[in-house]
Amino acid sequence: MTEPHCDPHPNPTGIKRVAVLTSGGDAPGMNAAIRAVVRTATSQGIEVIGVRRGFSGLHRGDFITLGPRDVANTLQRGGTILLSARSHTWRTPEGRARGARHLRAHDVDALIVIGGDGSFHGAHFLQEEHGIPVIGLPGTIDNDLYGTDHTIGYFTAVETALDAVDKLRDTGASHERIFVIEVMGRHAGHIALDVAVAGGAEEVFIPEDAKEVAGVLDIVRASVKKGKMGSIIIVAEGYPGGATGVAQAIQDGTGMETRVSILGHIQRGGSPVSSDRILASRLGEAAVYALMEGKSDVMVGRQNHETSFTPLADTWEKRKDVSRDLYRCAKTLSI
């Protein structure tokens, strides 16, 4: 049973039932987004169907009914209660057609997809081919989606990586070693840049600026001459060669001892920080209202502290750059 809200939002589309799924890599805050979708929809007299295991589950019709109590005590949990998976079948017209039939069989009027650009591709083609309204929520630690200042999970991933960097700095200073630390971000350097500034790194390598490692060797030597007990080098996983390549080049070029630490999937886990919980909650609420107002085939984001709506295709066709001011700041403060 749904629980109507005393202050109903305009619903000219007459939507009565929506589905929600999480797809691709999990991100801290996805559960907060699911919770916001369920409770906002319920407050407006709209039923919610949860799709388990992303598009793979949609293809198989793996559905559950979600009410306010089903999402209780999930705000602080990492991962996704709906589970996630990658689906090769969904990339085919036949796979999407089967998913559309499952949605219609359950009288679903619209679909909310929480994920990254791959997930948005799947949502976009579902609407394009079968006319089912879709809304995307930016759920990825990479922060690489055009149309939103930050993505759900990004803040937590930065904090997780920063905590590891602080610990590695301690042991690096004790042994007077250079630590080359690789953070996630896929093809983007947002996490690496934030961690480099917040962690006081001597250098940062990001895909957006594929500079040669050779140009950093003098910086490393100068750090030693200045009396620094150890150095921290941050490398985004999308930088050519990754941390292993950078570390080898530094060791070969300077003869100094280096250690590599690849943080990996630890950055996807853990309880979401407050910023991710708040962002996910606001976006989840806005997604339901957007569908009620007739919006579709868009991603709900936050830009300049305001809710924004970006065509799904723009989120992967347009490039989101790192902050060049912050990149300059990282270089200035590394002396």
Alpha-carbon distance values, 136 to 9, 102, 174, 300 (Å): 20, 19, 47, 6
Strand pairing of 63-66 and 17-22? unpaired
Q: Report yes or no: 19 and 49 within 8 Å, Cβ to Cβ.
A: yes
Q: Is 202 part of any known ligand binding site?
A: yes
Q: Is 91 part of any known ligand binding site?
A: no
Q: Is 1 part of any known ligand binding site?
A: no
Q: Is 116 part of any known ligand binding site?
A: yes
Q: Report yes or no: 59 and 99 within 8 Å, Cβ to Cβ.
A: yes
Q: Is 36 part of any known ligand binding site?
A: yes
Q: Is 79 part of any known ligand binding site?
A: no
**Residue of 142, 144, 194, 276 marked catalytic:** 142
Q: Is 237 part of any known ligand binding site?
A: yes
Distance of CA 84 to the CA centre of its chain: 13
Round the CA-based radius of gyration of the chain to a whole number and report it: 22
Three-state DSSP state, 110: strand
Q: Is 101 part of any known ligand binding site?
A: no
Q: Is 227 part of any known ligand binding site?
A: no
Q: Is 211 part of any known ligand binding site?
A: no
Q: Is 301 part of any known ligand binding site?
A: no
Q: Is 115 part of any known ligand binding site?
A: no
- How far apart CA 135 and CA 290 sit, in angstroms, is 8
Three-state DSSP state, 12: coil
- How far apart CA 148 and CA 271 sit, in angstroms, is 22
What lies within 8 Å, CB to CB, of 137 at 6+ separation is 33, 112, 113, 114, 115, 152, 280, 283, 284, 287, 299, 300
Q: Is 201 part of any known ligand binding site?
A: yes
Mind giving me the DSSP string for 243-266?
A: HHHHHHHHHHHH---EEEEE-GGG
Q: Is 184 part of any known ligand binding site?
A: yes
Q: Is 51 part of any known ligand binding site?
A: no
Q: Tell me whether residue 276 is one of the annotated catalytic residues.
A: no
- How far apart CA 99 and CA 122 sit, in angstroms, is 11
Q: Is 37 part of any known ligand binding site?
A: yes
Q: Is 200 part of any known ligand binding site?
A: yes
Token match 């996983």: residue? 237
Q: Is 102 part of any known ligand binding site?
A: no
SS3 content of the chain, % helix, strand, coil (to 5): 45, 20, 35
Q: Which amino acid is at 72?
A: A
- How far apart CA 249 and CA 208 sit, in angstroms, is 20
Q: Is 96 part of any known ligand binding site?
A: no
Residue ranges of the annotated binding site for ADP are 35-39, 169, 200-202, 226, 228-230
Residue ranges of the annotated binding site are 25, 35-39, 86-87, 116-119, 140-142, 169, 177, 184-186, 200-202, 226, 228-230, 237, 259, 265-268
Residue ranges of the annotated binding site for ATP are 25, 86-87, 116-119
Catalytic positions are: 142
Residue ranges of the annotated binding site for Mg(2+) are 117
Residue ranges of the annotated binding site for substrate are 140-142, 177, 184-186, 237, 259, 265-268
